[in-house]
Structures are given as structure tokens and as C-alpha cells.
Chain A
Amino acid sequence: MSEQEFLEYVQEGGQVEVGDWMPDEYRARLVKFVEMHANSELMGVLPEREWILRAPTLQRKLALTAKVQDEVGHAQLLYRVVEDLGKPREACLDDLLSGKAKFHNVFHYPTASWGDVGVIAWLVDAAAIVSQKALLKSSYAPYARIMKKICWEESFHVLHGRDVVLALVTGTAGQRELVQEALGRWWGPLMQFHGNPIPRDEDPMYVWRIKSQGNEEARQQFLEGYVPQVWELGLELPDPKLRRGEDGVWAYTEPDWEELRSVVTGHGPMSEQRLDFRRLARENSAWATRLLLAEAA
């Protein structure tokens, strides 16, 4: 199969398995994409982890702990996919901790209140589901297969987050304010989440069908699904231009792409602290890794 034939094959909906031949460029882009996804799952638990000890009830504490376990599990599955493509997990962690590899923008920000925890689980996970559902049709079949489990668990998280938000907006005025303030903090990063509106046919990830939709399609789908759910609670989103056109297309203020670039290259408000914590966790668990590798040898 030539590179051109491979390209036509995936563009017609063909899928690739672990041992199949693939062009070097496809493999390299796939590794980078899935690795970033894995890094994001792993780093994504840190903002929420900060609230496990401060959760308002035992039930919420258990639910949040379960969510954190889910996300770490997703990271493990995704690193496994990357390993089969030729990059060992330890090398992925090295690159993450040295700052060479990236993780998603939303995990570089602080979580100021329990309202943030609700908004993250509800809307950040909702934004993630939009992207991840499109990966169910990825041309790389092992990736598409584990996405079934990941999407299923993410839908739990959205439910959990929405429940946290509903409890707050039906509580005291102060509790409601926690959600409103959190929305103000998270809306910017959420609008940046799906990336710049590059036409999908110019996006190599779409061209190779590693993902099956363009950035702007994903953002529109997110807005269509979730803005009405925010508005129906009487909550406000900090964008005066946000509105659904008669053609069904959402208008919004141009997201701050400079902020996105700066944050994902490690210059976000919490980037360094979160990486430091991950370094510490890796050092503290190194003995277990050594033990396992020795047993395996």
C-alpha cells in the first residue's frame, strides 16, 4: 500500500489495526495526538483532586474520588495505545514532566471553589465528550475501541457535575453565586478548548481521519448542546455576543487564541505547580514501578 492509497483508505472510512502498515507521518501524528489525550487525562485529575478533602458531603467526596479514578484509568488505557505505536509509557511521562509534551488548556487553571468542581465536571467533561464521541470513528481502531469505555464513563461525570451545579443553584444565594463566578472563570478556557477554527480539510488530524470532525464543528456542537442548559438555570455566560443564529449557527466573541497558545505551552497560572505535583507523585511511586519491572524481568 502506498501512502496515497493509505490516505484514500482512511478517508473512505477504513480502519487501521496495531500491526498494520502505516505511513510514518500517520504514526507520528497519532502518537502525538493520543499522547496528549493521555497526558490530559492524567493531569486533568489534579484540579479536582484538590477538592477531594474539601468536598461538602461524604457522597460527593466518594463520587469525586471515583471520577478521579476513572480519569487516571483513561490515561492508562491511552498510554497503552501509545505504547503499541512504539513510544513507551515512561518516555511519555518523561516528556510530560520535562514540558516537552502538552496537555489540554483547561487543566492549567486553578479551582477556586466547589462551584469550579461542578462546572468542570459538567462543562469541561461535556466539551471533552463532544471531541471524544467524534473519536469513536477514528481511523485508528484500537483508539476508537477504548473510546467507547471512555465516553461511557465521561457521561457519568457530566451527570455528576450537573447534579453538583443543580444542588448549588437550588441552594442559598451564596451557593448560586459560586456557580455564577465559576462560569465567569471557565467560559474563556471552555471556548478555547476545541482549538482554533482551522477548516477541517487543512487540519492534518482530520485529513488522516485520526479525528472525524473539525474544531469549529465540535465547538458548535458543544454550544448547541450546553448553552441552553446553562441559560435555563438563569445563569449568565460572560459573552454579550453569544447567541444562536436563525441558521442554527452560534455566534460568539473570538476566543483568546494567544492565551490558549501561552497556556498549553506551559505558561498557565497552574502549569508549573501541577507538573511539580506530578513529578512528586512519580518519585513517590517509583518504588512500585521498579518492583513491577523487576518481577516482570
Chain B
Amino acid sequence: MKVFEVFRQERKGQPFQHAGSIPAPDAAFAEAWAREQYGRRGESVALWLVPRDAVQVVEDFPDEFDLKYRRVDGYSIKARLKEARERAGTAAPGDR
């Protein structure tokens, strides 16, 4: 038996989301079973059936070079903003 991962799309335009998995001897059987399990109430407009061994998993994201300028947490503007306001003699918009 092969394991097929099932992804289902609820409405056109929406992302396919992982729903579960089914064991099957081949793709045709997997399709028949997936239709029963994930489509018989009109809850899906499309299914993706992917043999589990075809899924390449990536789950570690090392950041040896500290490339934090590519992330939102790479920018800490609080202190600089405070100094800039002081120099300009202004207050934060909410405090006026």
C-alpha cells in the first residue's frame, strides 16, 4: 500500500489545504476513496492526491549570515524615531 496525502480546495481561488491521508494500492483507488472521504458533500471543488514519498520536506531554515534585514524583526526603529522626534521638536501623532 502507498500513502497518498490529500489536499482539498474548498472554493475556487482558495489555497489547497492538507486534509488527511489515505492508503491505496494505486492512484485510481486513491482517487475513488478520496472522492468518498473528501468530496461527497460538495465540501471540495478540487483535490490534490500526492504520494507521500513524492513530498520533499524542508523544515530547517538556518541563518548563518544573520540576514535579518530581510525580515520584519530586522528593523528596530523605536530608539531612532524617538531621537528624530526630539531633534524635530515634535511628539508622536497620538500624543499631540
A152 vs B20: C-alpha distance in the bound complex, in angstroms?
Answer: 15
A129 vs B89: C-alpha distance in the bound complex, in angstroms?
Answer: 60
| Interface check B51, CB cutoff 8 A | no
- Nearest B residue to A77 by beta-carbon distance? B20
| Interface check A296, CB cutoff 8 A | yes
Contact A73 B1 (CB under 8 A): no
Residues of chain A contacted by B38 (CB below 8 angstroms): 149
Interface size class of A (residues with CB under 8 A): 10 to 19
Instruction: Give the total of B residues in contact with A, Cβ under 8 Å.
Output: 19
Q: Which of B23-31, B66-74, B76-84 touches A?
A: B23-31
Partner of A142 from the list B2, B20, B36 (CB cut-off 8 Å) is: B20
Mask for B17-58, Cβ within 8 A of A = 1, else 0?
011111111100100000011100101000000000000010
Residues of chain B contacted by A100 (CB below 8 angstroms): none
| Interface check A84, CB cutoff 8 A | yes
Query: Which secondary structure characterizes the binding site on chain A?
Result: helix
Residues of chain B contacted by A293 (CB below 8 angstroms): 1, 25
A86, chain B: closest CB distance, angstroms: 13
Question: Which of B's residues lie within 8 Å of A, judged by CB?
Answer: 1-3, 18-26, 29, 36-38, 41, 43, 57
18 contacts between A and B (CB under 8 A): A19-B57, A80-B21, A80-B22, A80-B23, A83-B23, A84-B21, A142-B20, A145-B20, A146-B20, A149-B19, A149-B20, A149-B43, A152-B43, A292-B1, A292-B25, A293-B1, A296-B24, A296-B26
